Structure 1
Amino acid sequence: MNSTPLPPRMESWKPTVVVGIDFGMTCTGVAYSTAPEWAEPKCIQRWPGQFQLANKVTTQVAYDDRDRLITWGFQCHRTTDVATSIMNEFKLYLDPSFPDNHPGRPSHQEAVRWYKDFMRSLWVHLDSYFDSVIPDWRQRNVQILISIPTTWTSPQLTARLKSWLEEAGLATAYNRRVDVNQTEAEAAAVYAAKQTFKVGDIIMVADAGGATTDINILEITERRRDRAKLRALDKAEGINVGSTQIDGHVKELVKAQLKQRRVQCNDDEVHWLAEDMMKSCAFEEIKCGFDGTQLQMDTHMAIPEENFPEHNRYQRQHVTITVDQLRSIFDNQLKLMFSAMDNKLHELMNQRPDPVKYLVLSGGLGSSKYVQRRIQAQYATRFPNMKVLCADEPQLAVAKGLVMDRVQALSTGSGVYTGRISRVSYGVLCREAYDKVRHRGEDITEDSLDKTKWAENMIEWLVEEGHAVEDTDFTKPYRLKIPKAEIGQGFEAQFVKSDAPAKALPRSLRHDGVERLCTLRFRFSEQDFRQSSSHQGFRLERSFLSRRRDHYIAEFNLRIIVGSTDLKFEIETMDGRKLNMAEARVEVEWEETEIRPKPKKPARTMFAAQR
């Protein structure tokens, strides 16, 4: 997929409305703020099909028996007059590498379709809503910010997510722009940082939502009335712990009891019957209100009469989820959460003596009184000086955090994050002058231009996992040998990524643990070569030996800008001219997110310039 070049005027484009969308596994929240006041973000509370105010809308879409979209959100359960299939809990399947072998799991293509249908429907509603409350809405510059799970570490997936959103109609107008630029962990941390912390405070933010729990440890580096600054002390971590896992375990208990009672359903029908029974008894409210105390009552779910043989239909039956069973399910999720938190706390203690002063909980599961009480009990003795807090509006932390970070950047010139920790390593393929010891077993070629030997497909790691990534860029000089006949043609730089620890990064494509990421294609103009005497970095190498050919040496700087969720690239010539992704002369082709075979070596590979 080629990225669509942006017109140069977009570089100075600034929004007058910022909209943050927290696309969740079970519910989706939306917050916004407008210029020139840039007031505290407001959240959308009015939704189609919901007569009461609600901070979030259910993440679901409904289709008829011909697989046509009927409706979305709260309206899905009001479509009783047509045959419907309601699709929900598909968020994690947008990542094609999500490890789930459940036989009923949706395909990646199905999840993408449902996502686009949901986001298209959501935006139609938001567009109408904003048109009724914001003056000159149609003429405003609107930036739409989307967060992604912290478990997603692939810039390819971010690029595709942005293209799906554009296809869904979120950025079709000239003054609409959609960006995927923060993880849920970072957005929740921004929201948490706006509370009354002091400079030097170290906080751990645990955003426990529907599908995942994201954990971040940060230091408050600046705190003023109009802005806050955060510095990450460790890479953010996401684990598959959330309220939907609790739903899944309860559903399995219900299904087991239904089978014991020999209801007249096949396995697939039992699955949907269990889900309907949980909805009919308002299990979501029971789960959110669960506190695990002795006053808590068992949950009884009535079995519809039509699911029994006629002679049993009038014997009222139900299934029961006891308080002990529900407590056990909560505790199993909490064990995983505690393990991840413990690892983060111990890693920090090994690096620096400063203790974590606050543990801030956000997200739907983080707002649970039972979860809060168990976490307080877990750490009261081991970390007595660490205070457990709950975010002011825990379920809106991500949506509001997205908006607050962007508004601060617009108002003060810089966002909340002053530095992040890279979650993966990024490198570029290059060739190295052949060394018979160092390059034993590597791909060796002889250059047709000057007959020197090179080791191909070597990797120069520009950004290493676990290392600090400030809001700056990484720039390194490289060279290309270019035959005279190829001037004006396009050239490539191939980037790779690795999840391996920084101390064990592979040195070439012949080693395991490396994945192809993208190809950066760029093109110098013929003028660069024709005027090589005046354009620094382009020089002609003449050869007086019959086995060698005249060729150019193009020397340039390769710049990589590492964002929270994406990468941007720039080529800079030695005389200061820049080629970036907003120009037609630079484009990026992202690899598919599925595992691919190792790439063939490019026809002409760049090599590091010696400085």
Structure 2
Amino acid sequence: MSVSETAPTHIIVGVDVGMTGTGVAIGSYSKNSILGPQIIQRWTPDPNRVDNKIPTQVTYRAATAAHVHSVGFECPSQEKIGTGMRLIGMFKFHLDDNFLRERHKNSQTTNTDTLDDVKFWYQTFLTALHGHISRQLQDIWKVDITLTRVEYIFSLPTSWQTNDILRKRFREIIHDSGFGNDVTMELTEGEAAAVFTAKHHSREFTEGDAFIVCDSGGGTTDMCVLRVKQLSGEAVELENVDEPKGVYSTLSFQLIELHSYTLASLVLPVGSVNIDELFEEKIQGPLAELRRIHPELSEHVAHQITRDEFQKTKKSIGTGLSLPIWKFQVPDPVTNERIEVSKEDIQAMFDKQIHQIFEFIDSEVTYLEARRPDVHLSYLVLAGGLCSSEYVQAKIKRHYEKNITVLFAGAPLDLPLAVCRGLVIDRLQHLSNQISVISIPSGSASYGILHWKTHNSKEETGQDPTKTTKSPVDGNKYTPDQIDWLIVRGQQFESGEDIRRKYSRLLTPKNQTHRWKFAVVRSTLLPTMLPNEFAPNNGDATIYCLVIADLEPGPENIGDVRRRWLRGKTGVQVDYEISAIIKPGELKFRARIVGQKESEVRDLEVKWLDDLAIGAGECNVGFDDGLIKFIR
């Protein structure tokens, strides 16, 4: 990136944490200049070395995980690991409890890593990553990070988009790793790849064109379907036609829902890492024979050959450099042996991945034909490291070319870096044109506040009369556990936009507590099926978190609160305005007292069920401690 005459007012850093490697792209914005995205390619002290990604791995002394040895390229190879040391890689999806449990169940070792261990690996890697990015910004791009806003944008694994707990964990780790609060997590990896694709191929698109993006990387294959909503000069606006989907590799475990049927505990081997595993299994037999002759051979030899020499072979499959028989040197000076593997055997390893990709895409095409006849697919766009293979591209193109045009970036290196570049492109367009490439919906869930509501026996609201409480202040009956849906599934909103609601409390001299609370519920049902009341067997709404406030007016400011003396009873009505910001991995609530003189806005405390900070019983909020739907 060249240094602009005008100092940038805003730096955007796109980060794609991958299974095997992490890519980082940088862009800059000022009123007179937009630059980027450019890729960080210097990850080592060697000024002549160029690497497009840093390996997502850490090394530490196994006896004490707190003693970090190295990160990224500084980690020693597996065969050079010292005594009492441990190399950790491919831990991207270990943050998922389901995956971690499944991994322990299928593990052939006694190692039982905990969620805290996984958080430590993540924070170790991301802390080092943040430090390196900061140094690059200062030394290479000459950015004064004390005066210039630096915004970090992380992609989300597509399989995490409906898991708020995972997104929250990821955001907290990012924050604690030094990235701070100026962090955005909105686009899935598939959507970010689609942004790069749309800008790269914008001249080939027309408004109304629909296309599938298949982003197949190291450990996952993500897919999304988008339609070109608007083309205006350099700006491109897309809309999601269907919710993005992701398939884990065999290293992972996830409940995957594909439209009308569910595949539980499904293992779909889709990703370049799985090719490595198949190759490693293939050569273990011949190596076992060699060990009978040369017992000094290490058991890690198969892994070493796979990680080193085989990587070059993988890239040559489908090109003119591909050989009929590949001979791999055994990395041991005593043996001087070679392991032979045919080109057909290696292609079969690729074909196993490609056939799974065909099934994944075909299921989406079938769904669109049946459920969305208004959508006419024009293109299939390939992205990701696996799809940068000429062999993979040729196979997919041959399979679909009769019905759809297959597109991919001309430069092979563009495909593995599509996600981090797409993150920056989307933000730069939003800053320059006030239009994001992809508008972000609220996601695949709805969120609401549990409150009390005036009981009206004449209304068919589903309110249970046996659960009502009579207020001594106004004599009315109130029903608990009513849901006020703040955000509805699929609702479009601007990033960081807050949602506001008004609520009331009726207080007596015996109940002048400063603390009150409310529970937040979450549902994945369609908007037309959302329940009005939180109750067993009434929809799928579950308690998401508990929000606690300490905003009650005391003697020093009671005069500033609107008071109502009702029916001669001694009591007071206090009205509040609650504002909520709900976005991926982040939930914030603020409140203020409203009346003749409004109080200052204060942040409210959020307690999470998954952190065991509270028990489910604590979410049963009584009338004195809860909120009532606003009383006019």
Q: Same fold (TM over 0.5)?
A: yes
Instruction: Give SS of 1:97's match.
Output: helix
Give how far 1:45 is off: 0.7
1:283 and 2:310 aligned = yes
| 1:444 alignment partner in structure 2 | 467
Instruction: Give SS of 2:439's match.
Output: strand
1:221 and 2:229 aligned = yes
Of 117-126 and 468-477, the range deviating more from structure 2? 468-477
CA contact (8 A) 1:425 1:464 kept: yes
Instruction: Give SS of 1:277's match.
Output: helix
Matching residue's letter, 1:85: R
Listed as ranges, the gaps of 5+ residues in structure 1 are: 1-13, 307-312, 534-538
Give how far 1:515 is off: 3.6
Match for residue 187 of structure 1 among 183, 192, 203: 192
| 1:8 alignment partner in structure 2 | none
1:42-441 superposed matches below 5 A: 42-48=38-44, 52-64=49-61, 66-67=63-64, 68-77=67-76, 80=80, 82-83=82-83, 84-98=85-99, 100-101=102-103, 102-103=106-107, 106-139=113-146, 140-152=148-160, 153-171=162-180, 177-195=182-200, 196=202, 197-240=205-248, 241-255=270-284, 258=287, 270=299, 272-280=300-308, 282-291=309-318, 296-302=323-329, 316=337, 318=339, 321-349=341-369, 350-381=371-402, 384-390=403-409, 393-420=414-441, 422-431=443-452
1:45–1:305 distance in 2 versus 1, CA, 3 Å:
closer
Matching residue's letter, 1:128: R
Of 230-239 and 151-160, the range deviating more from structure 2? 151-160
Instruction: Give SS of 2:621's match.
Output: coil
Give how far 1:570 is off: 5.2
Distance 1:368 1:190 in 2: 21
| 1:491 alignment partner in structure 2 | 516
Residues 2-27 of structure 1 show CA distances to partners (whole Å, capped at 9, x for unaligned) of xxxxxxxxxxxx96221111111100
Matching residue's letter, 2:272: S
CA contact (8 A) 1:488 1:524 kept: no
Give how far 1:492 is off: 2.4
Of 81-90 and 297-306, the range deviating more from structure 2? 297-306
1:469 and 2:492 aligned = yes
Matching residue's letter, 2:94: Y
| 1:588 alignment partner in structure 2 | 606
Distance 2:466 2:422 in 1: 48
Distance 1:284 1:532 in 2: 70
Of 148-157 and 423-432, the range deviating more from structure 2? 423-432
1:503-514 superposed matches below 5 A: 508-511=534-537, 513-514=540-541
Distance 1:136 1:509 in 2: 54
| 2:256 alignment partner in structure 1 | none
Give how far 1:44 is off: 0.7
CA contact (8 A) 1:391 1:397 kept: no
Matching residue's letter, 1:179: T
CA contact (8 A) 1:60 1:76 kept: yes
Identity score, percent: 24
TM-score in terms of structure 2 length: 0.77
Matching residue's letter, 2:543: R
CA contact (8 A) 1:63 1:70 kept: yes
1:288–1:73 distance in 2 versus 1, CA, 3 Å:
same
Give how far 1:363 is off: 1.2
Matching residue's letter, 2:230: E
1:446–1:32 distance in 2 versus 1, CA, 3 Å:
same
Give how far 1:433 is off: 5.4
Distance 2:136 2:58 in 1: 20
Distance 1:346 1:189 in 2: 21
Distance 2:573 2:229 in 1: 49
1:17 and 2:3 aligned = no
Distance 1:351 1:254 in 2: 47
Distance 1:157 1:60 in 2: 20
1:74–1:351 distance in 2 versus 1, CA, 3 Å:
same
Give the superposed CA RMSD.
4.0
Instruction: Give SS of 2:626's match.
Output: coil
CA contact (8 A) 2:504 2:631 kept: no
Matching residue's letter, 2:357: M
Of 238-247 and 430-439, the range deviating more from structure 2? 430-439
Instruction: Give SS of 1:418's match.
Output: coil
1:226–1:562 distance in 2 versus 1, CA, 3 Å:
farther
Distance 1:265 1:15 in 2: 63
Give how far 1:364 is off: 0.8
1:78–1:388 distance in 2 versus 1, CA, 3 Å:
closer
1:234–1:404 distance in 2 versus 1, CA, 3 Å:
same
Instruction: Give SS of 1:236's match.
Output: strand
Distance 2:612 2:383 in 1: 32
Distance 1:299 1:106 in 2: 37
CA contact (8 A) 1:292 1:327 kept: no
Instruction: Give SS of 2:158's match.
Output: coil
Instruction: Give SS of 1:41's match.
Output: strand
Matching residue's letter, 2:621: P
Higher relative contact order (CA 8 A, sep 6+): 1
Distance 2:507 2:347 in 1: 68
Matching residue's letter, 1:360: V
Distance 1:505 1:283 in 2: 53
Listed as ranges, the gaps of 5+ residues in structure 2 are: 1-7, 249-269
Of 101-110 and 87-96, the range deviating more from structure 2? 101-110
Matching residue's letter, 1:342: D
Distance 2:318 2:185 in 1: 36
CA contact (8 A) 1:145 1:180 kept: yes
| 2:23 alignment partner in structure 1 | 29
Of 38-47 and 179-188, the range deviating more from structure 2? 179-188
Instruction: Give SS of 1:430's match.
Output: strand
Distance 1:364 1:180 in 2: 22
1:94–1:74 distance in 2 versus 1, CA, 3 Å:
same
Residues 479-526 of structure 1 show CA distances to partners (whole Å, capped at 9, x for unaligned) of 444445555723323222234566665652523744432233345462
1:596–1:571 distance in 2 versus 1, CA, 3 Å:
closer
Distance 1:336 1:505 in 2: 35
CA contact (8 A) 2:442 2:487 kept: no
CA contact (8 A) 2:455 2:463 kept: no
Give how far 1:541 is off: 5.0
Matching residue's letter, 1:274: A
Distance 1:202 1:317 in 2: 49
Match for residue 531 of structure 1 among 560, 572, 582: 560
CA contact (8 A) 1:229 1:416 kept: yes
Give how far 1:112 is off: 1.2
Residues 390-436 of structure 1 show CA distances to partners (whole Å, capped at 9, x for unaligned) of 47511111111111222222223342223537223333323455689
Distance 1:40 1:324 in 2: 41
Distance 1:253 1:578 in 2: 72
| 1:4 alignment partner in structure 2 | none
1:564–1:135 distance in 2 versus 1, CA, 3 Å:
same
Distance 1:593 1:298 in 2: 54
CA contact (8 A) 2:28 2:34 kept: yes
Give how far 1:442 is off: 10
Give how far 1:55 is off: 1.0
| 1:9 alignment partner in structure 2 | none
